[in-house]
Structure 1
């Protein structure tokens, strides 16, 4: 693979000898930045939202640059179509979309397009990119597959480790999305701390404004939401720890129900059995495939948002809840304190009674609710797009200087 990659690099670079120089003089007016677009072009949640938000914020705040999004395929969806309609965001599809394209063949396209920086948005960068003129950045979201290997198949865990460790060793710069992730990269991969920069995530702008009462009423009626409910958002998997909320619900005011929004996995059966055992069938509501445009309204209608995950790289749902003005309870033990700030509540992810206590405390105290909403909204401003995006562009420029 190495011989093949070097040959492709030489061919691509030789084809550029007669074109304009790749010197720093071009940087004074324009950057050409390439991105791994696998998630941005195909995922409607999680890393897809992260990728689109990051690139879109750059395109809006620094329109003088060109943003090239490389992907072998594109999902047909309104969010994705809207993303690629931006004038300075360009979709780049391969001429030959072989299964090696993202890992190797993309190098030829990057050199041909005069890309100055390539940003791998999720744990990997192309092999041998360090042998080209293209500088590289990789975002590391978490190393959960090493912290909690039991949640992953052996072959998947080894593949993730191989790709991410290689990317960290070869990239010019690593972006960690939290101090906790940075610490994990140093611990597991032995990376020099000076190579890692913590740049927090933000969430989609749609969560940053209040919906009108008429819109909230429509959303409530459409999804048959109860008048009083606790909210949880995220994939229904063991690590996210939904079972703890169900167990705590038994000790919470009976007027309140639990609304869960997330994709079901095999763990759902465990949760379902717990609901039946505790006689809570009428108090737990599962919603799936909620249109992204309506999700902020559900956050805004919730009385409390609960996210007791055992481990996260950052915890975007916590940010979404705080922007929505919803009091938030999260778990200790990972990075959720970084996301939720000093005025959210944190409990041990195995403490059923502790979680129930704090849910009840918030529900019965208007003053506590008001304080958590106000201070939570103040804290979350540190994740606003202009600040995060400026840090990112500074990172790119420092690599090129």
Structure 2
């Protein structure tokens, strides 16, 4: 099977969905030698996909501004899928390209905050992603939610049937493992009393994250 994977949506600062994209490519490259993967990446991000096995092919596209990149994401994959005879196209960040007849399409949704908490976004971004999510929900052959909560939100908002929507939890990077030495150092560095309760938050600081 020949699978196209759109990694062009990676932001300059890799967090959240960006880590999902990099981690998914890394995990698949470690496990799968039978399928052919075509990773579409901006030139500035090619170092993130170095040393991939032979069945992974990196396709570089220009470093476009956000408006031009969005236009590319919606239109260019059609010709790429034809050129490389792709069987599947995976859009890992909401936006599903147009004109992908004859190819199986998968889209990943990370949350539904554009609908549930619209006041946290500027109008242009909110309206764009609301439209893209509705469109992808209607056209995708499969929808992946990164959590059970997101899956439930999608069902509540759009009523998607069970055969099309599922949740697939993100994996855990092998770097994360118990380390008593560094744990002690962290407690000391941040002046944390290990006998007291505390909250560890490692995400981006945004109002919608409901931080105390």
Q: TM-score, normalised by structure 2?
A: 0.82
Where structure 2 has 5 or more consecutive residues not aligned to the other structure, the ranges are: none
Give the alignment partner of residue 211 of structure 1, picking from 165, 179, 189: 179
Equivalent runs, 1:1-400 vs 2, <5 Å? 31-40=1-10, 42-75=12-45, 81=47, 83-87=49-53, 88-94=55-61, 99=69, 100-129=71-100, 131=101, 133-207=102-176, 209-211=177-179, 213=181, 215=182, 220=186, 224-228=189-193, 230=198, 231-242=200-211, 244=212
CA separation of 1:96 and 1:82: change in aligned 2, threshold 3 A: closer
Across the two proteins, how many residue pairs are aligned to each other?
Answer: 203
SS of the equivalent of 1:161 reads helix
Which sits farther off after the overlay, 193-202 or 167-176? 193-202
CA separation of 1:192 and 1:164: change in aligned 2, threshold 3 A: same
Q: 2:143 and 2:207 mapped to 1: Cα distance? A: 29
What is the CA deviation profile of residues 95-122 of structure 1, one whole-angstrom value per residue up to 9, with x for unaligned ones? 7965422110221012101211110101
**8 Å Cα contact 1:84/1:90 also seen in 2:** no
Of structures 1 and 2, the larger Rg is shown by 1
Q: 1:40 and 1:211 mapped to 2: Cα distance? A: 30
Q: 2:147 and 2:13 mapped to 1: Cα distance? A: 22
State the superposition RMSD in angstroms.
2.6
By percentage of residues, which structure has more helix?
1
Q: 1:73 and 1:163 mapped to 2: Cα distance? A: 25
CA separation of 1:189 and 1:65: change in aligned 2, threshold 3 A: same
Where structure 1 has 5 or more consecutive residues not aligned to the other structure, the ranges are: 1-30, 245-401
Q: TM-score, normalised by structure 1?
A: 0.46
What is the CA deviation profile of residues 42-87 of structure 1, one whole-angstrom value per residue up to 9, with x for unaligned ones? 5521111111111221121112222211134433xxxx62532212
Give the CA deviation at 1:41: 7.7
SS of the equivalent of 1:159 reads helix
